[in-house]
Chain A
Amino acid sequence: MTDEMEKLSAEDRQIAAMLNAMPRVAAPPDFEHKVRGRIAGRRQSAGSGWRIFLPAFAAVFLVALGAVLYLGVLSSTDVADVPPIAQAPTPAPMPQSVPEPTVQLPETTEVATVVNDNRAAPNDGVAERVAPPQRRPERRAGREEQIEGGGSVDRAGSPVNVTPDRPVNANVAVPDMRPPGFEGGGQVDSSEVLSLMGLRGEFQTDGFLVSSAEASGAAARAGVRAGDVVESLDGKKIEPETRFASGSAIKTISVRRSGERLTLTINR
């Protein structure tokens, strides 16, 4: 420090000397004893420190275990819930509306449907038929005459590559895609029949309340109007569960209009 003192200014030298001359303090006599005590305390707390987290670890483990078990149960339930294909509860949905055709409609009024079984409707009542999907052609080899000029729809009922080369029936039914042997095969319910006749509305306790009737539909041409309540088709009472044979030609429609019951004839 002497060498440096020589380089310092007089004032700095005075400051440094004053600081150096300050009396020194000493540690108290029990200094080491207290340090040893602190060390022993820290060792003890460090040794037992992990025990503080033991309940937290246990809780996390239990939560994780519960989550794994819960997810495992869920996944096994999912598999069990998948019904066998043969027991499918609902068939492929039938569209409630058919795309409006852009071509000139013929003067046909038949309600035509396509069946996928051997109980085909008699040909005398069917003016037009729609070609079923081109899949499995070997099963349709004997019905080629029925699919001439028809269109194709996908499973959702949307037209696919509709390229009509001649007038088609506006009341085209969507082919029934239900699997062979399905108990409901070959039949359509009343809502579909009404829809194919161009009627829109809703079922009530006493029939089907017509909210609108397509002018080009068979029902409208027979004289059904909005506000009519359709009670029966061909004498068969109309209810949501009422089913009709596929391909059957509806000849009469009974409606109630302003309390009066009318039986209208479907014109062909």
Chain B
Amino acid sequence: MASVDREEDKAGQGGKTARAVSDHELAAAAAAGDEAAFGELMDRYRNQITNFLYRFLNDYEEAVDLAQETFVRVYFAIDRYHAGYAFSTYIYRIASNLAISELRRRKRRRLFSLTGLFLDDPSDTAEYQPADGRKLQDASFDDDERSAAIGKAIATLPEKYRVPIILRDIEELSYDEISNILEIELGTTKSRINRARGLLREKLDKEILGLK
């Protein structure tokens, strides 16, 4: 495939619409240097990845930043992608690893709280600001109290439970795909998702649950 025509209609974002060109073909074209193919992959997955990272970090700016970094990593490592897995598995794995790394970086920053010492990017001179309760971009998305409460509850889950439940109940990936992304057994995947739901149930106020 010499080149890929960018789809003008992005109404079906999230890979839910039938496409003439598969992800594998786009990835192969991108690996061959087709910039348009890489742009098409970005169109298909940028919203999914941004939403996944937003729910994981509960911070929109950070989520967008990591989503962009995810695509940069994909771009430079596209030749390592092989068709044995779905492209979504590949890109979600990169995004998950970045998100988990970001969480650990936040923990280190909290521990040492020294300006600039533990920043990976020297140009990133902004000191870490923990997620606050202000209604920023969240307001336009979680404009009701219940969504905000759920978002905060998800953000308090341990990372090993947070990733699978977001991938399953928000991104609606299959158990098999989640186990491939996390590189864990299928049974472990199901167990962690069930455990995550139980933890959320404990964290969420019964009143919130009863709002439904």
Contact = CB atoms under 8 A, between A and B. Distances in A.
Interface in B155-170: 165-166, 168-170
A47 to B, nearest CB: 13
A22 interface: yes
B169 A15 contact: yes
B212 A27 contact: no
A1 B172 contact: yes
Interface stretch (A30-38, A116-124, A144-152): A30-38
Contacts of A24: 47, 51, 141
A42 B76 CA distance: 9
Contacts of A19: 150, 154, 165-166, 169-170, 200
A35 B46 CA distance: 10
B60 interface: yes
Contacts of A18: 146, 150, 209, 212
B172 A20 contact: yes
Nearest to A11: B201
Contacts of B204: 15
B116 interface: no
A38 B121 CA distance: 13
Query: By DSSP majority rule, is chain A's interface helix, strand, loop, or mixed?
Result: helix
Interface in B32-80: 39, 42-43, 46-47, 49-51, 54-55, 60, 63-64, 67-69, 71-72, 75-76
Interface string A146-170: 0000000000000000000000000
A76 to B, nearest CB: 50
A19 B161 CA distance: 14
B147 A35 contact: no
B197 interface: yes
A63 interface: no
A32 B146 CA distance: 32
Contacts, number: 90
Size class of the B contact interface (CB-based, 8 Å)? 35 or more
A28 interface: yes
A32 B39 contact: yes
B68 A35 contact: yes
A46 to B, nearest CB: 9
B75 A39 contact: yes
A26 B50 CA distance: 6
Nearest to A28: B64
B142 interface: yes
Contacts of A38: 68-69, 72
Interface in A188-219: none
A17 B197 CA distance: 11
B135 to A, nearest CB: 13
Contacts of B141: 23-25
B180 to A, nearest CB: 18
A19 B50 CA distance: 16
Contacts of A39: 72, 75-76
Contacts of A12: 194, 197-198, 201
Contacts of A31: 42, 46, 50, 64, 67-68
Interface in B196-212: 197-198, 200-201, 204, 209, 212
A110 to B, nearest CB: 90
12 contacts: A11-B201, A19-B170, A20-B170, A23-B142, A25-B54, A25-B60, A26-B50, A26-B51, A28-B64, A31-B64, A35-B42, A39-B72
Interface of A: 1, 11-12, 14-20, 22-28, 31-32, 34-35, 38-39, 42
Top-9 shortest CB links A-B: A19-B169, A27-B46, A27-B50, A23-B141, A35-B71, A16-B169, A38-B72, A15-B197, A24-B51
Interface of B: 13, 39, 42-43, 46-47, 49-51, 54-55, 60, 63-64, 67-69, 71-72, 75-76, 137, 141-143, 146-147, 150-151, 154, 165-166, 168-170, 172, 194, 197-198, 200-201, 204, 209, 212
Given A19-B169, A26-B13, 14 more contacts: A11-B201, A14-B212, A15-B200, A16-B169, A20-B172, A23-B142, A23-B147, A25-B54, A25-B63, A25-B137, A27-B49, A31-B67, A35-B42, A38-B69
